[in-house]
Amino acid sequence: MKQTVITPVNFAEQFFQKDFRLIYHQTAGPFQQLVTEEQFIDIGESFNEEVSGYILEIHTKLDKNLTHYLWLDTNRSKAISVTFDNEHTIHSIQLAPFQTHPETDKIYTKNEYIMPITDTWFVVWGGTNQFINYHYAYEAQRYAYDLVIKIDEQSYQGNPGNVKNYHAFGKDLIAPADGQVIMVINDKKDHQIGDTDENQPAGNCVVIAHDKNEYSMIAHMKQGSIIVNEGDVVKQGQMIGKCGNSGNTSEPHIHFQVMDHPNFLEGKSIRIRFNDHRDPVQGDYVSPVL
């Protein structure tokens, strides 16, 4: 008798029917090192309690090999986040409550902004739930974006251990709106892949004060690349520096957010009103619209 293969088409039903061993046997080695088969079964059975079924909410192609799927229960109170590769190996499974913040989701910035980029970039993290935007769980970063550049669905070419092989590294970054530069950090080193600086999470960064008490931050910039100074008045689209790999970062990318306080550790993130009226989410490609 041919064994059932777990695919994105049947995953939710197999999970609901408690086919946990079958699902577990299709997970990758690193996942199985984190969770034993018996632990996974216990967790799955507990998660299924008071659930009448799961519905696919979103699926996003992450790169050439990986696709992310998100299922919600019919009450939209529980979420299953799964990453499959092209051969249907399961690389990650996350089971968690599905929590949203509708009261702040509907509040946008008063000013209009552009993405602080001059090329087409890919949204790695962005959106209004924690499964497509890990920042969402944290009030200070809730509506932030992490962006990379992808060519042929990959963020790098050649050896992935060399930061210079990442398409985003060294790319120009621009002011997202008119304002005055109020903070510049420009001396943090760019890490090699695998190294991070958790003590300086933003790394090299620029914070700009805008009208109506809004502040934008672009983080993880390249050491020594920032060409504006504190006190400078900048115009939307003006060059400010280059993308790097400084701070708490897994690969060259930029972190962009708008907040209600000049200190990103003390303020609240605000959902960004873009001048092209888009609401980008994980998996979207974005370009500047001047």
Asked whether residue 77 is domain-assigned, the answer is yes
117 and 15 co-located in one domain: no
91 and 149 co-located in one domain: no
148 and 57 co-located in one domain: no
What are the helix (H) ranges across the chain?
11-16, 20-24, 29-34, 37-47, 102-105
End-of-domain residue from the set 97, 127, 159: 97
Asked whether residue 3 is domain-assigned, the answer is no
- Domain region containing 169: 103-286
pLDDT exceeding 70 applies to what percent of the chain? Answer: 99
Model confidence at 237: pLDDT above 70: yes
**Segment 84-120, tens digit of pLDDT:** 999 999 999 999 999 999 999 999 999 999 999 999 9
Q: Is beta strand 239-242 parallel, antiparallel or unpaired with respect to 204-210?
A: unpaired
Token code pair at residue 146: 């992490």
Model confidence at 81: pLDDT above 80: yes
CATH code of the domain covering residue 149: 2.70.70.10
121 and 39 co-located in one domain: no
Asked whether residue 4 is domain-assigned, the answer is no
**Segment 176-212, tens digit of pLDDT:** 999 999 999 999 999 999 998 888 999 999 999 999 9
DSSP 174: E
End-of-domain residue from the set 63, 97, 131: 97
End-of-domain residue from the set 51, 75, 97: 97
69 and 111 co-located in one domain: no
Confidence (pTM): 0.93
